[in-house]
Amino acid sequence: MLFQPPIPPHYNDLTQAQLAKRITMRKTELGSRLVILGHHYQQDEVIQFADYFGDSLKLSQIGADQKEAEFIVFCGVHFMAESADILSDDRVKVILPDLSAGCSMADMANLEQLEDAWDFLEKDCQACVIPITYVNSAASIKSFCGGHQGACCTSSNARAVLEWAFAQGEKVLFLPDQHLGRNTAFDMGIKLDEMLVYDPKLPDGGLTKSQVEHAKVLLWKGHCSVHALFTTAQCEEVRQLDPEYKILVHPECSWEVVQQADLAGSTEFIIKTVRESPAGSKWAIGTEIHLVERLIQEHPDKTVRSVASIQCLCTTMYRIDLKHLAWTLDNLAEGRIVNQISVTPDTKRLAVIALERMLANVSPAPVF
């Protein structure tokens, strides 16, 4: 995780209303030179200033389409800003308001670990292995996959990308989220015993040569710290409370939770499902709390709640706040660029290949 130096202390003395007024003023000053992107998990006080909001795939596409903007301020986390820098024009500067807004899942896979894993697979596996990385990963991981016949995927198109991967090779190394990999492969008909977990903290991932030969999918031992909080016991409590609730979860949840749910899909799938459901329907949702609360506000004709009774909060996304956004825009208006996220040309060259393969497998209406 990158370190964010303290911002000037006078920002702490400003009220939320003063910060909002300052941000509005700076947005007006910067005009078409500025585009603010906001992820669905972002808090409402920040998302109100986003020119576009969505999941990581949608925002990456929007970032790539910017023709006039000089600055993209990404109110998300570090890997998202990296993806925007990789896909956007070189003249565009991508900025993350708080450098400490990282992703615990992305941090569970680094390039050195992946290179070790690849050395093990090349030594002990005769089959062709295709590396697939979830978009929630560092640029260096995307670059490695792009340079080794692999690709990125999102939760929306993970199945399409895995189908593409199996058309290229015999096995898949899926990282860094084991749960998305397992849920997607199972949905494709791959048996659980054909999926093994590779633990990067253990020699050879804790696997033997014979185990690797048997496996069709090697799942990196990583997970989302938010979606790992949802449990089958919580699902059972919801059903006991009111059997009319439909349980709708993100595929970053564990296989056991996804099996107990009525539906599972990407962030955009969750939003679309609730939006298009009839009035009076009841939904218990297993994803980040800011999105759940936004769905509650936007659909008063429906009953929406979290699957969990605890706050399942993306704490790193929460680091992006009005103070840091105001500080970022103040600097831009005064001709200074702070917290620029810049991927090196060599890393970008191969990461683009992985991301383009991901985008090539996006359907017009992605559904998990």
Q: Residue 23 belongs to a domain with what CATH number?
A: 3.40.50.10800
For residue 343, being part of any structural domain is answered with: no
The answer on 163 and 220 residing in a single domain is yes
| 312-325 per-position pLDDT tens digit | 656 666 688 999 99
Same-domain check for residues 199 and 297: no
Assess whether 129 and 23 both reside in one domain. no
Q: In what order do the strands lie in the sheet with 71-75?
A: 52-54, 34-39, 71-75, 93-95
**What local confidence, expressed as pLDDT, does residue 105 receive?**
86
Residue 150 falls within a domain, yes or no?
Answer: yes
126 and 219 share one domain: yes
Residue 52, strand partner residues: 37
Helix (H, G, I), strand (E, B) or coil at 242: coil
C-alpha separations of 227 from 160, 200, 205 in Å: 22, 21, 24
pLDDT of residue 324: 93
C-alpha separations of 195 from 108, 208, 214, 253, 288 in Å: 19, 14, 9, 17, 27
Same domain, 220 and 354: yes
If asked whether residues 115 and 160 sit together in one domain, one would say yes
**Residue of 316, 336, 314 lying closest to 4 (CA atoms):** 316
Report DSSP state, residue 197: E
Residue found by looking up tokens 């989302």 in the block: 224
**How many alpha carbons lie under 13 Å from residue 7 in its C-beta half-sphere?**
24
Looking at the fold, whether 66 and 205 belong to one and the same domain comes out as no
Residues 273, 134 share a domain: no
Quick one: which of 205, 130, 132 has its CA closest to 171? 130
Number of domains the chain is built from: 3
Residue range of the domain that includes 75: 9-104+316-337
Report the pLDDT value the prediction gives residue 53, as an integer from 0 to 100. 84
Q: Is residue 156 part of a domain?
A: yes
43 and 189 part of one domain: no
DSSP three-state, residue 54 = strand
What's the pLDDT at 368?
Answer: 30
Stretches where the chain sits below pLDDT 70 are 1-2, 310-318, 362-368
Looking at the structure, tell me whether residues 112 and 140 fall in a common domain: yes
- Is 173 among the domain residues? yes
Quick check: is 126 in a domain?
yes
CA atoms of 138 and 347, how far apart (whole Å): 10
Q: pTM for the complete prediction?
A: 0.89
Report if residue 366 sits inside a domain.
Answer: no
Coil, strand or helix at 9: helix
Is residue 311 in a domain? no
**Residue pair 150/132 in contact by the 8 Å Cβ criterion:** yes
- Give the sheet arrangement for strand 263-264, strand by strand: 263-264, 246-249, 282-286, 303-306
Provide the β-strand partners of residue 129: 171
Q: Is residue 3 part of a domain?
A: no
The reply to whether 95 and 110 lie within a common domain is no
The CA-to-CA distance between both ends of the chain, in Å, stands at: 30
Sign of CA dihedral 105, 133, 257, 303: positive
Q: Report d(CA 113, CA 220) in Å as an integer.
A: 10
How high is the pLDDT of residue 365?
Answer: 37
**In a shared domain, residues 123 and 148:** yes
